[in-house]
Amino acid sequence: VNIVEVLNDAMYSDSHEAIDALAELIESTVHVSDDVDVSIGRMKQLQHILQLDESTFHSKFDAVKLALIETREMSDIVEELVSAVGLQRFRFTEREKLGGHDVCRNLVRIGASVCETWLNLPSQEMHKRVDDGLVHLLLKGAAHPSVNICAIALQALSQLVPATPNLDRELLPILQRRAITPHNISPHGSVSLAETDACGVNYQEFKAFRETTLSDSLLACWRGNSTTYMNSCTSAIEEFCLPTATPDICLHLEAAIFCLEAVALESLQGKELKQYSPQMKRCSESLSSKPRSLIGNPLTLARLCSFVRQ
């Protein structure tokens, strides 16, 4: 039985329960544990399977050798899974259109688990490449309306950025959009926070997501290409502060400032501060000339004060 073929076939199931169980199975099995108790348990299992007495078994196997065998075998399985899971990006798009968000979430769970395992497995290669299909699946997950699905994808993508050329350029625009606090705009142009159903979390949960998972991903993009990052955020602030800007984009401005703050500890100190002084000057000039209506929202005003303080 080819285990990868079985897992691949299962990924095409229309049953939410089947996909959920598959995601849980892959998450729990693709990780090679270095726990001592787990290692002892596997040694006993192998001895039972081979039906060897204890002295004969220990003369041929030890925990280190068993771990090496398991790692080698797991590498082969995960390498095949990387390609197989990458093909699920097409199904992800299809299920998202049909409202199958549970399936989307589990496909991203599978993709993230396989990706993280692949990156962490020992390799003779200096830089591991991950199949483009898997990267695109995770990017689709990051752009999904559900914050929970996005968070799963970002945990893997943050690790992928250093190993994948130009991924930061693809990921950054998605992160900048995700930084915008979910909100509604009334027919009269007033802004209010969105209900939980819109993104799957309430405001406090979104705030926690933004300050942890999203910030980690923003920092990964900044480390990947700090110049592109600073230029992009600066251009966004300039755009949102134009004289023609309307109050309904106040939370877009708040998000753009947040993206700068997320990397402030690394980008606005020492030599980096001098390097990015032109961008900071442009930001300051734009913010000082913004329409007053943009700071009518308390979140935007608070973010602006925080930015000035830093």
Give residue-wise pLDDT tens across range 37-67.
Answer: 555 666 677 677 777 887 887 777 776 666 6
Residues 186, 161 within the same domain: no
Residues 151, 17 within the same domain: yes
When pLDDT is averaged across residues 249-256 and rounded to a whole number, the result is 91
* pTM for the full predicted model: 0.82
With a CB cutoff of 8 Å and minimum separation 6, the contacts of 297 are 191, 247, 250, 251, 254
Tokens of residue 230, six digits? 């600073």
With a pLDDT cut of 70, the percent of the chain lying above it is: 83
Confidence of residue 28 (pLDDT cuts 50, 70, 90): confident
Residues 138, 171 within the same domain: no
Confidence of residue 153 (pLDDT cuts 50, 70, 90): very high
Residues 270, 156 within the same domain: no
Look at strands 183-185 and 191-193 and give their pairing: antiparallel
pLDDT of residue 108: 95
Residues 141, 177 within the same domain: no
Stronger pLDDT, 231 or 70, i.e. the higher one: 231
In this structure, are residues 66 and 112 in contact, taking their beta carbons and an 8 Å threshold? no
- Which of 121, 143, 165 is the last residue in one of the domains? 165
Angle formed by the axes of helices 147-160 and 167-178, nearest 10°: 150
Residues 212, 281 within the same domain: yes
Alpha-carbon distance 203 to 195, whole Å? 8
The dihedral sign for the CA sequence 12, 17, 18, 20: positive
**Residue 197, domain extent:** 166-310
Phi-psi region for residue 297, left (φ > 0), alpha (ψ -120 to 50) or beta?
Answer: beta
Beta-bridged to residue 61, according to DSSP, are none
Alpha-carbon distance 15 to 7, whole Å? 14
Residues 15, 69 within the same domain: yes
* pLDDT over threshold 90, residue 208: yes
What DSSP state is assigned to residue 268? Answer: S
* pLDDT over threshold 70, residue 31: no
> What average pLDDT is seen over the chain?
83
Tokens of residue 164, six digits? 């994948």
CA 141, distance to chain mean position in Å, is 8
Confidence of residue 126 (pLDDT cuts 50, 70, 90): very low
Residues 14, 160 within the same domain: yes
Tokens of residue 75, six digits? 């590498």
Alpha-carbon distance 38 to 23, whole Å? 21
In this structure, are residues 88 and 137 in contact, taking their beta carbons and an 8 Å threshold? yes
Stronger pLDDT, 283 or 128, i.e. the higher one: 283
Residue 51 φ/ψ, nearest 5 degrees: 55, 50
Domain count, the chain: 2
Residues 239, 297 within the same domain: yes
Residues 283, 139 within the same domain: no
- Which of 148, 165, 182 is the last residue in one of the domains? 165
